Structure 1
Amino acid sequence: MNLFNKKPIYLDYLLIIAGTGLIALGIQWMYDPSGFVTGGFTGIGIIVKQVTIGLTEGGIPIWLTNLALNIPVFLLALKLKGRRFIARTAAATALLSAWLYVIPTIDMAQGDPLLAAVFGGVLFGVGMGLVLLAHATTGGTDMVAVLIRRKLRHYSVVQIMQVLDGTIVIAGLYAFGLKIGLYAIISIYIATKVSDALMEGLKFSKAAFIVTDHYKEVADALLEKLDRGVTGLRAVGMYSGDEKCVLYCVVSKKEIVDLKEIVVSIDKNAFVIVSDAREVLGEGFVENH
């Protein structure tokens, strides 16, 4: 059974536990020791910890700031959006605060900001990807953006989040300096790419357009050997004016090599176009649920 295909709800919560744990590792082992502010309430927590070091030993801990900021946001979201909307995100937020409380702050990068940016981005990105795969978020500016959009409907949630997180990152520049801020931006980019790759990679497929005079033989071979559906599209060659049948077939990444070998074995002059299919729903692929 595919883990992400009609998975039981407890698997979602296992993903949330693992994802929030990785996010916390990225924050406690990479971001916090290096002074990286990457947006969100955890970014605010890093700033608050820095500016309160003189007020209390070690400053106000990140987990406490994260929890204190999220509580009123969730109460407002509960009132405006309902319990179902925030259930998994509430669990993710609580778990992230718990992980931040349990995991000690360790400078694993040993003062190297580039290492902190790269490995922090990877840890944060993988963790966030797992949380998103469980249909949850870690609260913070995500939830604030959703609530703000109720009043500013001509802006998207993503646009509002960009403004909120951008403001937090700019505040981090004042707290930690320009150089650290630039490294933090690198880490944000890496985390975003890793998170996107994790989500898209699980559904990533290849789409092939096949132009061949032996379309019947090629289609039969693909159906028999790959057990994949093939669609014939009527087309006209604009140079020759001849009617043609273009085959369209979607396969997994591993099967694209077999597809090309099958086509070439039947028609060495076939014209094959292969492109990425970012998400495929249906029989043999991820089901929509």
Structure 2
Amino acid sequence: MGRKNKVLRVLMCMAAGLIMSFNIRSFVRSGDLLPGGFSGLSILIQNIFGRLLGISIPYGPIYVLLNIFPVILSFRKIGKRFTVYSCITIAIVAFLTDFIPVFEITSDVLLISVFGGLINGIAVSLCLNAGATSGGTDFISIYFSEKFKIETWNYILLFNVFVLVCDGFLFGWDKALYSIIFQFVSTQVVNAMYKRYRKDTLFVVTEHPKEIAELINRLTNHGATRMNAEGMYEGNKKSLIYSVIDSEELKHIMEEIRKADPDAFINAIRTDRISGRFYMRPND
């Protein structure tokens, strides 16, 4: 990994931490909402101690303590560099959230829920695209995504709903229900912006099958299957190249295939599940 790429990853993780801290102190606090993951759990614990027990405790130490086990899991099972970059974001959020003053952008709770969720989703996606996470349940989601080769963000939403149910029972349902909107918007933004665990099936009709198959393998480390085909309009003999690739590589692959064979016909289809060997780039 080049030095420039490392610096970019650090800057993206720092930016994600700054955005998350800002979001918590503006949208989340002014709307009295709970964000997703361990960030929301930290705020719930704060509220339990503050409102029910009359004990004020800072956000940062709770957030760090909750992240200890996921960090250890990530360090052992996902990757060392991946975990180190993630810890940059965790440290920034843990530190800044207690020091940035609370300020209100709008008093409309619905607007807070939608735009707060949007900003949170952008911050999480920024972190994930830097090859890191924002901590907590993101570590767990990445671990199971790596293990089972599927997207797991919607399953994490179930954990968040459990936290919100607890909040609703303790402090009322209005803000808990608005928090579901916040978290749903955030989850959908992450699903849209982070494509690592998405796959596309690629069909290429070409007269240069060997070159196209070698190009796919060289750029993606994925194999390809060649099938004989016939163009029914003109009756020309063709080859059909079939391959499954990561969605984040699709645009680049299609551009390179077009350069190698301007006459190729390319069709890409979203793939939900595969069974068998499929190469995944390591997070580190």
Range of TM-score over shorter length:
0.5 to 0.7
| Aligned pairs for 1:239-254 within 5 A | 242-243=235-236, 245=238
Structure 1 vs Structure 2 CA RMSD? 4.9
Query: 1:198 maps to which residue?
Result: 193
Count of aligned residue pairs for this structure pair: 242
| Aligned pairs for 1:204-219 within 5 A | none
What amino acid maps onto 1:235 in structure 2?
Answer: A
Query: 2:51 maps to which residue?
Result: 53
Question: Residue 113 of structure 1 is aligned with which of 88, 109, 112?
Answer: 109
Distance in 2, Cα, partners of 1:124 & 1:106: 17
Query: 1:236 maps to which residue?
Result: 230
169-178 or 89-98, larger mean C-alpha shift: 169-178
Query: 1:185 maps to which residue?
Result: 180
| Aligned pairs for 1:84-233 within 5 A | 84=80, 86-110=83-107, 112-143=108-139, 158=152, 161-200=156-195
Query: 1:13 maps to which residue?
Result: 10
Q: So what's the TM-score if we normalise by structure 1?
A: 0.62
Q: So what's the TM-score if we normalise by structure 2?
A: 0.63
CA change 1:123–1:54 in 2 (3 A) is same
CA deviation profile, 1:121-150 (whole Å, cap 9, x unmatched): 111011101110111112223346789x7x
CA deviation profile, 1:22-57 (whole Å, cap 9, x unmatched): 122222211222222233121112212323136457
Runs ≥4 residues deviating over 6 A: 207-210
Identical pairs, percent: 22
SS in 2 for 1:8: helix
What amino acid maps onto 1:177 in structure 2?
Answer: G
What amino acid maps onto 1:137 in structure 2?
Answer: T
Q: Is the CA contact (8 Å cut-off) linking 1:12 and 1:134 kept in structure 2?
A: yes
CA change 1:240–1:6 in 2 (3 A) is farther
Distance in 2, Cα, partners of 1:38 & 1:169: 9
Q: How far is 1:9 from its partner?
A: 0.8
Q: Which runs of 5+ in 1 are unaligned?
A: 217-231, 264-271, 279-286
Distance in 2, Cα, partners of 1:29 & 1:39: 16
Q: How far is 1:191 from its partner?
A: 1.2
Larger radius of gyration: 1
SS in 1 for 2:97: helix
What amino acid maps onto 1:188 in structure 2?
Answer: Q
Distance in 2, Cα, partners of 1:13 & 1:65: 24
